[in-house]
Every structure is written in structure tokens, then in C-alpha cells.
């Protein structure tokens, strides 16, 4: 099971690192121009940057503590944080009627919860 958790963690980390970096690097106007990022028009730019930073931190938190065997409690904490971000994203997309985005965020939420559950406890690694 450990290998499966590492694979899921790696895929989640790659996705959130990419998504978070994009939110940090692009302006609000650039994000809104992307058809999949229309939600950004409803949020202030500072909040978008905060979400991006949280996604990047969460991505790093999924991998680095386990790799270096330091503060491994950060892995489930990062996964829970990313799940919370995805819960908010699912609600936002649902309110906007963006159902394909809702489906994707629910998958990411479920995978984040899976990693959190598997990485909690003394036998987590």
C-alpha cells in the first residue's frame, strides 16, 4: 500500500504544484481569460495568490517530509489542507454550474483524503 500512497502523493503534488504556480505567476486578468479559470473573476487577486501559495506549499508538504523523514506529520496536514481547498473549489464550481470542474475537484479531494488517512499514525511510512 505504501507504494500506492507514494504514487498518489506524487501525482497530487505535481498537479497542485502546477496549478498553484500558475495562480502565482499569472495576473487575475490572464487567469480569467482561460475558459477553465472563469471562477477567478469572482475573487480578489490577493485571495487567488493565497490559494496558489497554499497549493504549492501543500504539494511540497505531500512529498518533502516523507523523503527526508523530517516532520512527517506535515504530510497528512498538507493533504487535509489540500482537501479543504478542493472542498471550497467544488462549492465554487458548483455555484457557477461548472460541473466538469466539480467532478475533477471531488476526485482530487478524495485522493487528498486517501493520502491523509494513509499517512496518519506511527506506521504511516
* pLDDT tens, residue by residue, 77-105: 999 999 999 999 999 999 999 999 999 99
pTM score, two decimals? 0.93
DSSP string for residues in 7-45: HHHHHHHHHHHHHHHHHHHS-HHHHHHSGGGGGGGGS-H
Give the whole-angstrom CA distance, residue 86 versus residue 83: 5
So what's the pLDDT on residue 74? 96
Q: What is the mean pLDDT of residues 11-35?
A: 97
pLDDT category at 110 given cuts 50, 70, 90 is very high
- Per residue in 34-93, pLDDT tens? 988 989 999 999 999 999 999 999 999 999 999 999 999 999 999 999 999 999 999 999
So what's the pLDDT on residue 94? 96
Amino acid at each position: 500500500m505504501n507504494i500506492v500512497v507514494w504514487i498518489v502523493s506524487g501525482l497530487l503534488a505535481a498537479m497542485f504544484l502546477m496549478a498553484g504556480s500558475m495562480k502565482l505567476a499569472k495576473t487575475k486578468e490572464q487567469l480569467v481569460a482561460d475558459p477553465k479559470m472563469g471562477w477567478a473573476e469572482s475573487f480578489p487577486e490577493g485571495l487567488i495568490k493565497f490559494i496558489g501559495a497554499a497549493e504549492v506549499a501543500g504539494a511540497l508538504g505531500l512529498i518533502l517530509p516523507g523523503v527526508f523523514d523530517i516532520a512527517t506529520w506535515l504530510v497528512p496536514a498538507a493533504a487535509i489542507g489540500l482537501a479543504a481547498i478542493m472542498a471550497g473549489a467544488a462549492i465554487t464550481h458548483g455555484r457557477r454550474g461548472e460541473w466538469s470542474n466539480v467532478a475533477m475537484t471531488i476526485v482530487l479531494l478524495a485522493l487528498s483524503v486517501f493520502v491523509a488517512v494513509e499517512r496518519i499514525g506511527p506506521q504511516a511510512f
